[in-house]
Amino acid sequence: MSGVITAYSVLDGQAQQNYPISSPADIAAAMNAARQAALVWAQIDAKQRSQRVARLIAVMMAELDDIIAVLMAATGKVKTEALLGEVYPVLELLRYYQRHAAASLAPCPVHTAPLAFPQAQAVYERRPYGVVAVISPWNFPLQLTLAPLVTALVSGNACVFKMSELSLPVGALLMRLLGQLDLPDGLVQQVIGAAPEGMALVDARPDLVFFTGSVAAGRAVMARAAQHPIPVLLELGGKDAMLVFADADLERAANAALYGAFSNSGQVCVAVERCYVEAACYADFVARLVAATAQLNVGHGPVGDLGAVTSLAQVAIIEAHYNDAIAKGAQASGPLRLQGRYLHPVVLWDVNHTMLLMQAETFGPLLPIMAFSDGQEAVRLANASDYGLNASVWSRDINKAERIARQLQVGNWAVNDVIKNIGHAGLPFGGVKNSGFGRYHGSEGLRQFTYTVAGLTSHSRLPKEPNWFPYSDKGYLDMRGFVDMLFGAGSLKQRLFRNWSALQAFRGYASLNLAQHWRNGWIFIRCYPR
């Protein structure tokens, strides 16, 4: 072994357990075991796989209180946040896969042009990659590990996962829960460690890497995977914009802004980190937010809205963003107050795009608000970011709101709602620009954990095809006439007339008196001998 990592409770700072760091030999053994199990698992059809994995719903519900307790200690979340942000989305995803995975992964027949491919059938199918490496972060350690993990399993892969070194009790919990399922031995493996072990996992050459984390770490993983090469799916950071128009339901929008910015103490990749408000309601909206923020409860009492900060290293970034904004003229609802592990939320206004908190991911409970004059400016401001994960638009005019949303450079958007759209199990989730690429959730997510294999089956009994050897000048002219008949200018009658002589060479290929399907309708071609 190459050492241990001690896990501490975020709630009271007490040491919980020591976890041995995985050595290169451990990682190689995990990869080998997963690869052997993947061969068995891939032979089971998608419906049976989804049914076996969906058994996790009952397992999780039976141990729900224990799961919540582990999550609270590992992350500092309040219990409602742990339930709704971590457990519920996974349960929804499992049920979606149980109902739709078989159809999503079924072979797809493809229309075949009968004149070019007579008596042929075309199809494409999805095959699992083999072993998927999942590298997950500390902010939602259960959801952001289990969601890609079960997606990998349902789509027919084995999985080797590495959680953040801050979340190891959650990893142990997941292995215990998954151990209650009817899965081949070795199908799910865990690697324990920090960044070096994550890179070693990539070097162990899984067949696909799914990474969730920061842009810098994502670039490093992608560069490492490119050395082998291994395909990657990257779910990276966000700087999500909320656009509030004057005709919005301002009470609902204000409540949404609080939740969107401060849930999980802002430690959410799709948190509202930029709020743009139409000038006509800007002062009113700021006043609403300042008043409502003062009513939020911080801590783990009987009433608690914001939990603890999971990583104290993040506090330095949050503090730098706050101080930079104040130095450049921003107004704030209060000072930045850290009490133990609890960071009190702050609303800032009179902000601009020169400030760090409008450019870089804050990942903490700061809500900056900036005015815009019209929809065109709102779109320009929202798109002026290196990130493109999620966004929301607020207006009673749904047509206007959807039109604005479709102009935003993001992978996901919502109208008159915030964050919750990414929990829709049927909607693919992922980003653009520096927020990454690739998708998971829904049918699209399942397919991204597989690769496409295309097949063509010919039922022809001809001794050879017209495009086979030997070549000749006459054969070229006949083939040219065939191509002109299919794609040349003029009506079908004109194309047939001018190419009739050349088409006689294909009368056996097309079959005498064979009804052929033409892409623009049904036609009946009789290839008469001269």
Place of tokens 């990257």: 234
Contacts of 323 (CB under 8 A, 6+ apart): none
- Segment 300-325 shows an average pLDDT of 95
**Per-residue confidence (pLDDT) for residue 528, from 0 to 100:** 32
Q: What is the pLDDT of residue 524?
A: 36
Please check the confidence at residue 495 and state whether its pLDDT lies above 70: yes
Q: Which pLDDT score is estimated for 529? A: 34
Percentage of the chain lying above the pLDDT 70 cut: 96
Confidence of residue 114 (pLDDT cuts 50, 70, 90): confident
Closest by CA to 323, choosing from 275, 364, 383, is 364
Give 105's DSSP letter. T
67 has pLDDT over 90: yes
Question: Which residues are designated catalytic?
Answer: 235, 269
CATH class of 240-423: alpha beta
Identify the pLDDT of residue 526.
38
pLDDT digits (tens, 9 = 90+) for 282-298: 999 999 999 999 999 99
User: Per-residue pLDDT tens for 244-256?
Assistant: 999 999 999 999 9
* Cβ atoms 516, 524 nearer than 8 A: yes
Our CA angle for 521, 524, 530, nearest 5°, is: 140
Per-residue pLDDT at 116: 82
pLDDT in tens, 340-397: 999 999 999 999 999 999 999 999 999 999 999 999 999 999 999 999 999 999 999 9
Choose among 74, 17, 14, 81: nearest CA to 311. 74
- Put simply, whether the predicted model's pTM sits higher than 0.75 gets the answer yes
Domain definitions of the chain by residue range: 4-236+444-453, 240-423, 462-524
**CATH number assigned to the domain covering 4-236+444-453:** 3.40.605.10
Q: What's the pLDDT band for 511 if we cut at 50, 70, 90?
A: low
Helices (H) and strands (E) in the chain, counts: 19, 24
Two tokens, residue 362: 């804050």
pLDDT in tens, 27-46: 999 999 999 999 999 999 99
Mean pLDDT score, 63-75: 98
Q: Residue 128's pLDDT is what?
A: 98
Amino acid at 529: P
pLDDT at 513 over 70: no
What would the pLDDT profile of 410-468 be if each residue is shown by its tens digit? 999 999 999 999 999 999 999 999 999 999 999 999 999 999 999 999 998 889 988 99
Whole-angstrom Cα distance, residue 81 to residue 68?
Answer: 9
Q: Nearest Cα to 257, choosing from 368, 372, 407, 404?
A: 368
Let me know: does 210 contact 149? Beta carbons within 8 Å.
Answer: no
| Confidence grade of residue 517 (pLDDT, cut at 50, 70, 90) | very low
